[in-house]
Amino acid sequence: MFIKNALYINGVRASDPQSLEQTFEHMRATGGMAWIGLYRPDYDELKQLADEFNLHELALEDAIEAHQRPKIDRYGDTLFTVLRPARYLDATEEVEFGEVHIFTGPDFVITVRHAETPNLGDVRKKLERNPERLALGPEAVLYAIIDQVIDEYSPVIAGLENDIDEIENQLFEGDPSVSRRIFDLSREVIEFQRATKPLEEVFAAFVEGFEKYGVDLDLQRRLFDSRDHCMRIIERVDSFRQVLQNALMVQATLVTQRQNDEMKMLAESSNQQNEEVKKISAWAAIGFAPTLVGTVYGMNFKFMPELGLRYGYFLAIGLMAASSGSLYVIFKKRAWI
């Protein structure tokens, strides 16, 4: 699907061909630079471009299938660049990752997007307002796209930072859902690292080719500026991952502490119940002694020892008191009562 198809001569838009055939004809007639933008194209569309601009088969496959890591590959005089743009979705607190493939040759730029980002329309407008820069050729377009992708990382950084601040508040509020949120956010940060970390190698490869391919000094400076911005973003993302790992450790510690507090409370409650059981058991034993004596001598047998004693009643009462008193003293020493 074509988004934009324009031909530029000396940095100024000369025509807007309505088909690839017209683009090829105008290029041959004027010697201008073609900038062709596609959005999720099919094989036939890319094959037509590959035949005209001699695009390598491997790069063509990557552009169709997508799911590539950021990289640059050179095939003859054509440079194939893969970038992973991103945008932060406030509604779902998620990071949406896209993919853009850029073919740059001596007189053409082909961009293949597989997501809504980056906003290449803004890149085209900025460059068209600066014909001198656009006149530097396909490399000027490539570096501008890289700069746009990196600029669009800033809102993502801000969104992730806000989520991390909220997680830190949730941690100490005892919110049970914070563990899941930490896990989900860690996954987003890891994916963001996969989109940004390889850019270190990409920039290094560009810098190595400055002298060999005679890159304009102004473009070199712009790329260095983009690289510095990218390095700061990579450092921030690395710090986010470390903060989330620490948050997960703190959460585990807090959960363990709460579990220990609950176990302590259960143990204290159990000890208190044990003390109550001891008291009840002790008083039950004390009360059982006189009951036993009274029960034995309350049986209606005609012949029983001590039934005829003059002081048998007082002896029974004394036996009850002595047994109960002895048990009381024993339980008291053992702190049961």
Q: Give the H/E segment covering residue 113.
A: strand 108-113
Is residue 140 one of the residues assigned to a domain? yes
Q: Does 41 share its domain with 70?
A: yes
Q: Does 241 share its domain with 282?
A: no
Give me the phi and psi of 12, to 5 degrees please. Answer: -115, 135
Is residue 172 one of the residues assigned to a domain? yes
Predicted TM-score (pTM) of this structure: 0.75
Q: Tokens for 224?
A: 């260095």
pLDDT reported for residue 58: 87
Is the pLDDT score of 197 beyond 70? yes
Q: Residue range 162-168: average pLDDT?
A: 86
Q: Residue range 55-68: average pLDDT?
A: 84
Q: Residue range 177-201: average pLDDT?
A: 88
Identify the DSSP state of 304. Answer: -
Domain final position from 235, 257, 279: 257
CB 78 within 8 A of CB 4: no
CB 34 within 8 A of CB 107: yes
Task: List CB contacts of 187: < 8 A, sequence separation 6 or more.
Answer: none
Is residue 262 one of the residues assigned to a domain? no
Q: Tell me the H-state helices in 66-198.
A: 120-128, 131-134, 138-151, 153-173, 178-196
First to last CA, the chain: 90
CB 82 within 8 A of CB 62: yes
Residues 98-149 have pLDDT tens digits of 999 999 999 899 999 888 788 888 899 999 999 999 999 999 999 999 999 9
Is residue 149 one of the residues assigned to a domain? yes
pLDDT-based confidence at residue 222 (cuts at 50, 70, 90): very high
pLDDT reported for residue 229: 95
- Give the DSSP letter string of 78-105: EEEEEE--EEEETTTTEEEE--EEEEE-
Q: Does 277 share its domain with 215?
A: no
Question: What's the helix, strand, coil split of the chain in %, to 5?
Answer: 60, 15, 25
Is residue 88 one of the residues assigned to a domain? yes
Number of domains in the chain: 2
What pairing do the DSSP bridges indicate for beta strands 33-39 and 2-9? antiparallel
Tokens 């159990």: give the residue. 270
CB 150 within 8 A of CB 229: yes
Reduce the DSSP state of residue 205 to 3 states and report it: helix
Q: Does 276 share its domain with 253?
A: no
CB 72 within 8 A of CB 206: yes
Give the number of other Cβ atoms within 10 Å of residue 92's Cβ: 8
Of 45-49, 183-187, 232-236, 265-269, the poorest mean pLDDT is in 265-269
Q: Does 68 share its domain with 109?
A: yes
**Residue-number span of the structural domain to which 277 is assigned:** 271-333
Tokens 């290449």: give the residue. 120
